[in-house]
Amino acid sequence: MVLSANDKTNVKAIFGKIGGHAEEYGAETLERMFAAYPQTKTYFPHFDMAKGSAQIKGHGKKVAAALVEAVNHIDDIAGALSKLSDLHAQKLRVDPVNFKLLGHCFLVVVASHNPAALTPEVHASLDKFLCAVGNVLTAKYR
């Protein structure tokens, strides 16, 4: 699965629209993921899971920043996220299936806040991009 020139354009455009809301989207993505897929909470036993929790906000910010970084280096996502990839392989070891769940929830957040911008073509490109990010983060697992 390869990101076409069109995909890259679509992803940059939608992240442009998201703009400063990325951090907020990150937090909402996690909130949705924890609600819809309770098993994902097992990676955060130390978190306060209440709505508006500072930890969820903080972690959402980190997740969003990583996605933005990947968008800004969309021609070399592996390079841009290399350290994060190491971290996930050596320390965090989040099962690969969970990146799909996170990606799906991110799409839901984008859809609910920007329905007009998430055309089918943009949806396809963004889904591909999120898959690519998940692949990079799990690439060094074994």
**Positions in the binding site for other proteins (CB under 8 A):** 28, 31-32, 35-37, 104-105, 107-109, 111-113, 115, 118-121, 123-124, 127
Kindly state the smallest distance separating residue 38's Cβ from other proteins, in Å: 9
Residue 12 burial (CB < 10 Å; 0-12/13-18/19+)? middle
Kindly state the smallest distance separating residue 35's Cβ from other proteins, in Å: 4
Kindly state the smallest distance separating residue 114's Cβ from other proteins, in Å: 8
The token pair that represents 101 in the structure block:
């769940």
For other proteins, the closer CB: 63 or 81: 63
What single letter denotes the amino acid at residue 2?
V
For other proteins, the closer CB: 68 or 108: 108
For other proteins, the closer CB: 76 or 121: 121
The token pair that represents 18 in the structure block:
């998201």
Kindly state the smallest distance separating residue 69's Cβ from other proteins, in Å: 24
CA distance 62 to 137: 14
Number of C-alpha atoms within 13 angstroms, CB side, residue 137? 25
Residue 92 burial (CB < 10 Å; 0-12/13-18/19+)? exposed
For other proteins, the closer CB: 86 or 121: 121
What single letter denotes the amino acid at residue 53?
S
